[in-house]
Structure 1
Amino acid sequence: MSDVLEYQSLLWDGLWTTVVASFFGILLTIVVAFVVGMMRLSKTRWLRAPSYVFVEFFRGTSILVQLFWVVYALPFLGVRFTDNLVAGIVVLGLNEGAYASEVVRGAIASRPRGQTEAGIALGLTPGQRMRRILIPQSIPVMLPSFGNVAVDLLKATPLLYFITVTEFTADGLAIRTETQETTAVMLSLLVVYFVLSMILALLTRLLENRFALERRTHPLLRPLVGSAS
């Protein structure tokens, strides 16, 4: 184990890369999820069709192939990222965003009809009903699944090694090759990824509690919840 500690600065660098990729990947996932999820709910076919193709493409193809395509194939078509880490974050965000968009679509579509009817009775436009009633009511339902997507994205970051991004796992494997301390290195990787996953789970639980409290106490939502029941 002492041999591994000699390379702790390298591990910290790799861990920072993993955290950065996960953080920005999750942010992009959230944006993609809401944009594509709302497109899937649109009554306009030219919005629904491309969103359907997007979701099925990213869910139906390997994320590793997507990474190779973006980094090594798209440059031949004139599309090039200045940094492979940025390219990796984009692929992770788009891939996980495709899954999360179904969470958004399903959560909003499952809202009781009474909430929409209450919004119509209040004279709200479709956009106002979505923004003020349906989305706020759906967020607590989305959060557990969003937490799972975030953890899944974190566990996908080692794939960035295949596009020459030296993140935490890549640095750990390099140290294992150098020191032959397989058990110590793999145990370190296991513990760190577990801790990061627990942090994401804790943040998700805190957000669930916060949004559940707001849902119970917000004066504009109480009559809508009552009308839905």
Structure 2
Amino acid sequence: MGKREQARQEAAFMRGEVGIDGAATEEKQDEAEVERGKAREALLRGKAYLGREFLTWLLWRSEAGEPLVEFEKAGVVVLFLGRVVLKGVSGDVTELSARGAMAPYSEQVKHSLDRGLLVHQARLMLTHGEKVYETTLDAEFLDLRAAKLPQLMSEDEDSQLGERLYLVEQLSNIVHTLVEAFITVRAGRAWSKQVVPAMKEWMRGEEGTRKQTVLQRAANVRKR
């Protein structure tokens, strides 16, 4: 055995890829699972472009008004609120100051997305069963900012603190579930062949009826 081959095998052993007998320690991972792992790692390391893709995908999916994922046996409906910030790959910033529930779904935003910008920051309303959360997400690390929690049920302060912590954890887990759903789609073969073309069609089309549905949803939720 040459020195180069011996060094390669020793490196593989140190990484845990092979055992002392030189045999593989694990079966080869499924290709799709490998891609999901790479996408997940990129998000966790602050790859902002993947966070922007996630928020842009979420905006597209949310306009239909249907539950996007299931969390603890209940669907999660997402609605974008108010102001959104768009950024390009080069770091250029376009801020859209349109006000009200319709701003993220406006033709101005869609046309900007069609020209290559992506959603970098947005205010989201997440409805899970009877609970309604609001939070701002930034594509850099997808941290929860300025979260608004559902109305507390507890009356004493100690119980309220525990309830707040529980609701914050629930909100974090809901966002995590949405990210996992995106990663599964993003790592799949349908992403470039089906999902991206569908998103581009949405960016270029007139969606008056669907926008009216979004506006009505926002009004109904705020009346609760």
With the length of structure 2 as denominator, give the TM-score of the two structures. Answer: 0.30
With the length of structure 1 as denominator, give the TM-score of the two structures. Answer: 0.29
Q: Which has the higher contact order (CA 8 A, sep 6+)?
A: 1
More helix by share: 1
